[in-house]
Chain A
Amino acid sequence: MSGFFGWLNDQFLRMEWLSDLVTYLLVATGLDVASPIGGSVHFFIYDVIKIFILLSVLIFAISWVQSYFPPERTRRILGGYSGIGANVIGALLGTITPFCSCSSIPLFIGFTAAGLPLGVTFSFLISSPLVDLASMILIASIFSWPIALTYIGVGLVLAVAGGTLIGRAGMENQVESFVYSAPVHDGEANMSRAERFRYAKDQVTEIIQRVWPYILVGVGIGALIHNWIPEATITALLGQDKWWSVLVAAVVGIPMYADIFGTLPIAEALVGKGVGLGTVLAFMMAVTALSLPSIIMLKRVIKMPLLILFLGIVTAGILIIGYIFNSITHLFL
């Protein structure tokens, strides 16, 4: 049975047929896929097609699920829990809600105005861009299932722990006052099946239109690392034995605004060159969880001390996760 599932995994998720097909076509045009140029071209074509196919299918499926959880419903569900349970539910709901950090600010305002605890809202805010089902399946496709599940697991722990710490800090007065006075609408539109279909289809078009440049750039950089930059150069800078590798990954990744889907091919190429799993995880988390545009937007709704606390907790979490995983990389690869 495991052989059968392995085959399914290889063909549908890793799309080995596509890799073989690209190899076949490149060889037919006289390109040697073992050469650096041929290898780069193969990596680029195969990864771009694979990511776009997976992404379209995944976004459609997840948007369908998401259409059952409009923000009003999420808020009502969260209002029914208290203590750490609320943080856990907040982090879990974050995995099925928006892919984009641009929608998190209206959510923050809506949740806070309705009286949800600050810590619960932050659990949701940390988890929402960081972990989602689409990135889990893409990580499984590019790396493996254990790595994908681990990424989701530590992402959720970071969201729950981060939110809990922020909740304990008693910073309710560090939120701009207009947030508390925003009106709360509880109207929740019921969608028909046709509307869910349209919503899911629109999400696919919209997200693909937004992320395709990041994916092309990401795969391009990945192809470059994969075949042109010597392994010695990469490991000298980011090798597992270098104490600063996780730190460099986080510092480079935090201000970057990119999509997890564009970051994955870079991560894939880096792991192939002997960079530690923890370093790569830290890079992916830093890119997705925090970015300069989202920090600037957050600054409009929360005051500096709370912003610094939020950035500090998330950064510290990413560094801890990175160092822990670098010390146990051998369990996964």
Chain B
Amino acid sequence: MIIKILGTGCKKCVALSENAMAAAKAAGKEAEIVKVTDFAQIAGYGVMSTPGLVIDEKLVSSGKVLTPQEIERLL
């Protein structure tokens, strides 16, 4: 699966991507984490507050740093 972190490089985006990595590991899934930092691309997902979390091209959360447990439930 591909997990995308939408954000322009703020601290929250780094935290979210670390949590996503931990979640994928805990769930035992092979996941590729992609950071999307371009405005146009972020806008393409309809996100207004960063960081956004996209799993396999589906926007699952925005404006929040989810905990690894919360992300695991979404995987």
Contacts and interface: CB of A to CB of B under 8 A. Distances in A.
Contacts, number: 59
Q: Is the interface of A mostly helix, strand, loop or mixed?
A: helix
B28 interface: no
Given A70-B63, A300-B39, A301-B39, A102 B8 contact: yes
Interface string A100-115: 0011011101100100
A185 interface: yes
B44 A183 contact: yes
Interface in B57-75: 59, 61-65
A182 B44 contact: yes
Contact of A103 (B40, B49, B65): B49
Q: Which of B10, B44, B62 has most A Cβ within 10 Å?
A: B62
Given A106-B50, A209-B11, A182 B43 contact: yes
Contacts of A231: none
Q: Is the interface of B mostly helix, strand, loop or mixed?
A: loop
A10 to B, nearest CB: 36
Nearest to B12: A206
A102 B10 contact: yes
A71 B39 contact: no
A328 to B, nearest CB: 40
A110 B12 contact: no
B19 to A, nearest CB: 13
A182 B40 CA distance: 8
Interface in A283-306: 297, 300-301
Nearest to B67: A198
A62 B43 CA distance: 27
Contact of A105 (B10, B39, B61, B65): B39
Interface string A187-216: 001000000000100100010011000000
B42 interface: yes
Given A72-B48, A178-B43, A300-B39, 17 more contacts: A103-B49, A106-B43, A106-B47, A106-B48, A106-B50, A107-B49, A109-B48, A113-B43, A178-B40, A182-B43, A183-B45, A185-B46, A185-B62, A189-B61, A199-B64, A206-B12, A210-B11
16 contacts: A70-B49, A71-B48, A72-B48, A103-B50, A106-B39, A106-B42, A106-B48, A109-B39, A113-B43, A178-B43, A182-B46, A189-B64, A206-B11, A206-B12, A209-B11, A300-B39
